Structures are given as C-alpha cells and as structure tokens.
Amino acid sequence: MEGSMEDVRSTLLVQELAGMRSKAVPRQYIVQQEDQPTIAATASVPIVDLGRLSQPDGDANEAVKLRQAMESWGLFMVTNHGIEDALMDNVMNVSREFFQQHLGEKQKYTNLIDGKHFQLEGYGNDQVKSDTQILDWLDRLYLKVDPADERNLSVWPKHPESFRDVLDEFLIKCDGVKNSLLPSMAKLLKLNEDYFVRQFSDRPTTIARFNYYPQCPRPDLVYGMKPHSDATILTILMVDNDVGGLQVLKDGVWYDVPTKPHTLLINLGDHMEIMSNGIFKSSVHRVMTNPEKERISVVLFYFMNLEKEIEPALELIDERHPARYKRVKIMDYLAGLFEHFLQGTRVIDTVKI
C-alpha cells in the first residue's frame, strides 16, 4: 500500500515510530481511502468571555454566543476564565517534560499490565484488539483524578517532580471554570440554574488525558485521533499554543479550530446532548497530524457518577417535545464507546428514540 512500512509491530509507541524518521508509516495507521483526511475550512468558532457571562445579571451578548455554540457547534473557546497564563504554561511544560523522557522512564506508568493486559489508566497507546484496527498517531497518559480516593497513584508520574502539584492546581481551577459555565447553560434551557451542577454532586468521575502527537510523515493518510464525540457531560481541552490540528464537524463540513494561546476549549459531550433532549449538540471532532511539529493537548473529561443513569431533563419534555433519547446506564454507555470509535459510529445514535 502506498506510504506503508510493513514490518513494524503495531504496539510500538508512536513516539518510537516517529523517531525512526521514515517517510512511510506502518499500514495499521493508514485509514481507508473513503475516510482519509479532507481539506477543512477555517472556522469562526464561538469565543465566550467567561468573566462577562458569569456577571450577576449575565451578559446578553455572551449568552447569545454561548447559545450558538451549544446549539450548533458543540464546541467553543473560553477567554477571561481566570486561570493564570503561568499555570497553563506549567501544565503544558510538565506534560511535555513527561513525554520527552526516556521510554524506560515512561514505561514505569505503562497501561499494559505484565506487558500484555490493557487497562485504560497509564501511559501508552490504544488497546489493540485486532489486526485490522486502524491506529491513531498518538501516545497518551490517562489518569483518573476524581473521585480522589480512587486515584491509582502508581501510574501518576513522579517526574517532573512538580507534575502532581501542577495538575492538582489546574484541576481545581478547571473545576471552577466548569462550575461557572454550567448555570449559564442551564439558564439557556430555562432549567433551574443548578440543574447541571447538581449532576456532579455525588461522586462524579473526572479523567485527565495527556495526548502526545509526534510529527507524522503522512498527514494525508493518518489521523492523530479519529473522528469521535466525547461521552462526557463536558470536556475542557487545553491545546498546544501554536500547533493546530483539531477539527470540528458542523453541518457536514470539517472546520479547523484555530489555536489561541491561553484560551480553553469546551467540548460538549454526548451526555449534555441527552440531558438537553437534543437542544444542545455534542461536538464531533478529530485531530490531524503535522509533518514538522509535535503537538500536545491536555484534556479533562467530566462525567457524572458512573453508577447512575442518564436521561433527558424531565422539565424539557411534554406532549409537543417527547423524549428523544432513552434512559441509559452510564456504565453501559461507556462500555460501547471504544468499539464505536473504531467503527466510526456513535454510541449516542443507539439511544435515540
């Protein structure tokens, strides 16, 4: 196959593959012709000023932008969010330092138990389930950060030394950002202001995921991350200051999401779409690779308590507005996620009425 390099084990870390500086990529990374990356348009992704939005009487302009973002893009940028530039830079720096270490150091946190049994938490790549699976051009570190008493500290990096403290500080700040956004989102639906905040009141789960996308010789054939939507209520995403690559699908067209240093990106997840009975849209997004530059992103996935069920807010349902999604156990929802991701289909379609 064009551009392929046949003899490389699929389980190599992408960083190792990139280090070989070959002009070709192993065939496991090459997507089917009909799914190959296409040219994208540049988007005017909505930008919401959080300071203004959360003023006591709200700011009508910001609320209009938020509505547009929630109803059509499913993704928006947030400025004036109150997180210091220095903290954001620190999070990026410790993440970069982690990925730049020797492989042996990172393997201490591997997501393969005994070198073969895959677990979500830790450092490595996606679970490889079959020979025909198409792999993404990234390595990642995946940490469950909440509930805090469920942290598996054996996969939390000890180097760089400040990693844990910096992450903890960032988590607290991002929780504040989330909690300032949620009441405005509820207001747009005429729900009680604390409707969404309440969903997080009883042992919610938060995952931190650090994505590392090395340079890739064939951005035309390979994805950094395949198209998907997040199975969260919402996701906070901090992307590389100057290397783009994230794209979002709107009305059937892929748009580049421009980089804008020190802003945060908010992705609405499937569970927000379900709770809003489809008024809000979760974003379908993907990541392109870059032939010259590596890229890092830091992602916080916010779920409610995984033992619970999710359904459209009852306040939004009446005879004229029937429920558009079935009630579903979050655990069951998540169980189907990876398979759908590989197939390029969406779990949310399976719960639509």
Q: Is residue 297 part of the contact set for ligand AKG (CB under 6 A)?
A: yes
Binding pattern for the stretch 103-132 against Fe ion, x by CB under 5 A and - elsewhere: ------------------------------
Applying CB under 6 A, which of residues 209, 226, 293, 340 lies at the interface with ligand AKG?
Answer: 209
Estimate the crossing angle of helix 163-188 against helix 85-100, to 10 degrees: 130
Strand residues in the chain grouped as ranges (E): 41-42, 47-49, 75-79, 112-113, 117-118, 122-124, 139-146, 205-213, 223-228, 234-239, 246-250, 253-256, 264-268, 284-288, 295-303, 309-310, 328-329
How many residues of this chain bind ligand AKG (CB under 6 A)?
Answer: 11
Alpha helices in the chain (DSSP H): 14-19, 50-53, 60-68, 85-100, 103-107, 163-188, 195-199, 270-275, 330-335, 337-343
Nearer to ligand AKG, 225 or 274 (CB): 225
Q: Which amino acid is at 201?
A: S
In contact, 215 and 294? CB cutoff 8 Å: yes
Applying CB under 6 A, which of residues 13, 50, 246, 279 lies at the interface with ligand AKG?
Answer: 246
The strand pairing partners of 286, in sequence order, are: 247
CB of 175 to ligand AKG, least distance (A): 18
The span from the CA of 170 to the CA of 104, in Å, is 27
CB of 303 to ligand AKG, least distance (A): 13
Binding residues for Fe ion restricted to 220-249, rule: CB under 5 A: 230
The span from the CA of 66 to the CA of 308, in Å, is 28
Applying CB under 6 A, which of residues 83, 225, 288, 347 lies at the interface with ligand AKG?
Answer: 225
Applying CB under 6 A, which of residues 94, 287, 288, 300 lies at the interface with ligand AKG?
Answer: 287
Nearer to ligand AKG, 160 or 227 (CB): 227
Q: Is residue 299 part of the contact set for ligand AKG (CB under 6 A)?
A: yes
Q: Is residue 293 part of the contact set for ligand AKG (CB under 6 A)?
A: no
Question: Which residues contribute to the site for Fe ion (CB under 5 A)?
Answer: 230
Question: Which residues contribute to the site for ligand AKG (CB under 6 A)?
Answer: 209, 211, 225, 230, 237, 239, 246, 285, 287, 297, 299
